[in-house]
């Protein structure tokens, strides 16, 4: 066991008889067309339906073009707009919004054409130019958010993220890291280790660095594990007792869980197959995720901005004869993650996924570039949290694979065979 160099700050004294704060989620029912918009919002796209016949962009989502009755398809759209009217809602009958009043909203004329109702950043008045973001609300549904914009210089994504997390209303659409307690499941691997450093630098209150045993001597002198606000704890996701012990040792609130644990080994199914390796991959990637999710879900559900982020391989999208066990484990992991997301909808806990291609580490020594540097992957995870983005692909390999998979999954499955 690693000796803690930074003892955990004592949790705030809790009154066992106090009534827990309920966290209702934003109203949930949506049409099928609106769900389709959310599916694209999850990828960070700004889309509207446009008519396949006359090209007119339309909103709210419909099932036929209101101008010519043609069929509609989703397209990326310009994000500019202008505030037409605004209000501050001070009374609401909905429990979620009642807890968060006053609420700023207004109508926006989009450069793309339609008039939309949107959440407004503070200080936006009629006539103001805005840049629109298509976000997911705490119920997992698509939501339009208007940010102030200079017509000539629309804010960079990072700027927008800063505005979102600084705005009390905007914070409900993202996962704030500053002040949060975060658990990283495998800080022994370069990716998890880079993440621990990045989270500490981003102002997390406490980063718990989960370390699968046995602990080597070098842990004691590791500069990242020794950073202020970083707490190394033993954590083996293949062992339910270890998971439970780690969670109980954190003791206080836990806001964000980032799961990076995996087991990468080459090998096919019948050829060069190593069933023990396959089994281990499934134990770490799939069952490990399930153990971690099971142990942390109730804690995350009690937090105002709880989130579970999983870093997984883009190999989850299709089988791979060269890494059959690993691809299968990652596919199982993705499936479990999707089910977990559905479960957590009613709690407001965000379940995010970050896909990566081969990372630049010992697991992928034999592969030529391009590979994703751990620091780059860590930055992408922080951006996913800052944007509240459900799905992120890091690097050329993951982005290209996702693009091909979305385009034609059957073709993709054939082409990925070496």
Partner 1 sequence: MSSSTKRSRMAYDGVVVAAPITVPYQRFSSEPAHGWAGAALRALARETALGPRDLDGFSFSSFSAGPDTAVGLVQHLGLMPRWLDHVPTGGASGVMALRRAARAVQCGDAAIVACVAADTNQIDSFRHTLATFSRFSQDAVYPYGFGGPNATFALITQAYMHEHGVTRADFGRICLAQRANAGSNPLALQRNPLDLETYLAARPIADPVHLFDCVMPCAGAEAFVVTTPEIAAARGWPAARIMATIERHNAYPDDLVQRRGGWAMDVDELWAMAGIGPGDIDCLQAYDDYPVIVAMQLEDLGFCPPGTIARFLRETHFGIDGTLPLNTNGGQLSAGQAGAAGGYQNLTEGLRQILHCPLGAQVPGARRAAISGFGLVNYDRGVCTAAAVIEAL
Interacting residues with partner 1 (CB under 8 A):
26-27, 29-31, 33-34, 59-61, 66, 84-94, 96-97, 103-107, 109, 115-119, 126, 137, 139, 141, 143
Please, which residue, 90 or 218, has the CB nearer to partner 1?
A: 90
Distance of alpha carbon 155 from alpha carbon 159, whole angstroms: 6
Which helix (DSSP H) or strand (DSSP E) does residue 374 occupy?
helix 374-387
- Nearest approach, Cβ of 343 to partner 1 (angstroms)? 21
- Least separation, in Å, of the C-beta of 388 and partner 1? 15
Residue nearer to partner 1 on the CB measure, 172 or 416: 172
Closest approach, Cβ 362 to partner 1, in A, equals 46
Residue 16's region, left for phi above 0, alpha for psi from -120 to 50, else beta, is alpha
Which two three-digit tokens encode residue 411? Answer: 């073709």
Question: What does the alpha-carbon distance between residue 23 and residue 235 come to, in Å, rounded to a whole number?
Answer: 29
Q: Output the smallest distance, CB 139 to partner 1, in A.
A: 8
DSSP assignments along 279-334, one per residue: HHHIIIIIIHHHHHHHHHHHHHHTSTT-EEEEEEEGGGGS--TTBHHHHHHHHHHH
Helix (H) or strand (E) holding 88: strand 80-89
Q: Which is nearer to partner 1, 61 or 197 (CB)?
A: 61
Which CB sits closer to partner 1, 108 or 175?
108
Give the nearest distance from C-beta 36 to partner 1 in angstroms. 11
- Cα Rg, the chain, nearest whole Å: 22
- Minimum CB distance to partner 1, residue 63 (Å): 10
Q: At which residue do the structure tokens 């102030």 appear? A: 148
When the beta carbons of 17 and 29 are compared against partner 1, the nearer one is 29
How near is the Cβ of 238 to partner 1 at its closest, in Å? Answer: 41
**How many angstroms separate the CA atoms of 296 and 333, rounded?**
16
Q: Which is nearer to partner 1, 74 or 103 (CB)?
A: 103
Neighbours of 56 (CB within 10 A): 17
SS3 375: helix
- Omega of the bond leading into 60 within 30 degrees of 0 (cis): yes
CB of 119 or CB of 263, closer to partner 1: 119
Residue 39's SS3 state is: helix
Pick 137 or 310: Cβ nearer partner 1: 137
Alpha-carbon span 165 to 302, nearest angstrom: 20
Q: How far is the CB of 117 from partner 1 (least distance, A)?
A: 5
């Amino acid at each position: 066991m690693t000796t803690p160099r930074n003892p955990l700050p004592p949790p705030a004294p809790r009154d066992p008889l106090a009534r827990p704060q309920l966290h209702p989620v934003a109203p949930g029912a949506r049409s099928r067309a609106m769900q389709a918009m959310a599916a694209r919002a999850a990828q960070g796209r700004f889309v509207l339906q446009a008519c396949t016949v006359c090209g007119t962009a339309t909103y709210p989502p419909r099932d036929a073009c209101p101008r010519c009755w043609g069929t509609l398809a989703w397209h990326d759209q310009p994000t500019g707009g202008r505030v037409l009217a605004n209000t501050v809602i001070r009374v609401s009958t909905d429990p979620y919004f009642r807890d968060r009043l006053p609420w700023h909203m207004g109508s926006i004329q989009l450069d793309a054409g339609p008039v939309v109702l949107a959440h407004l950043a503070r200080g936006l008045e009629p006539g103001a130019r805005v840049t629109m973001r298509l976000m997911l609300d705490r119920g997992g549904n698509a939501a339009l958010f208007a940010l102030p914009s200079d017509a000539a210089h629309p804010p960079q994504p990072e700027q927008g993220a800063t505005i979102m997390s600084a705005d009390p209303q905007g914070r409900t659409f993202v996962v704030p890291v500053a002040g949060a307690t975060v658990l990283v499941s495998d800080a022994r691997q370069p990716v998890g280790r880079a993440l621990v450093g990045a989270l500490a630098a981003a102002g997390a209150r406490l980063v718990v660095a989960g370390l699968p045993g046995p602990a080597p001597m070098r842990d004691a002198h590791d500069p990242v594990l020794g950073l202020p606000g970083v707490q190394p704890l033993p954590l083996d996701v293949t062992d339910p007792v270890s998971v439970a012990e780690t969670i109980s040792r954190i003791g206080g609130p836990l806001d964000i869980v980032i799961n990076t644990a995996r087991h990468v080994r080459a090998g096919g199914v019948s050829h060069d197959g190593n069933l023990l390796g396959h089994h281990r991959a499934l134990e770490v990637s799939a069952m490990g995720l399930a153990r971690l999710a099971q142990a942390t879900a109730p804690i995350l559900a009690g937090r105002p901005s709880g989130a579970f982020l999983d870093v997984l391989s883009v190999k989850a999208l299709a089988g791979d004869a060269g890494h059959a066990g690993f691809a299968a484990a990652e596919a199982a992991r993705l499936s479990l993650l999707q089910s977990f997301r559905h479960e957590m909808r009613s709690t407001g806990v965000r379940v995010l996924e970050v896909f990566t291609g081969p990372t630049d580490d010992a697991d992928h020594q034999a592969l030529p570039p391009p590979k994703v540097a751990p620091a780059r992957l860590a930055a992408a995870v922080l951006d996913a949290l800052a944007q509240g983005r459900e799905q992120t692909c890091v690097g050329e390999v993951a982005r290209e694979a996702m693009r091909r998979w979305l385009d034609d999954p059957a073709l993709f499955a054939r082409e990925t065979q070496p």
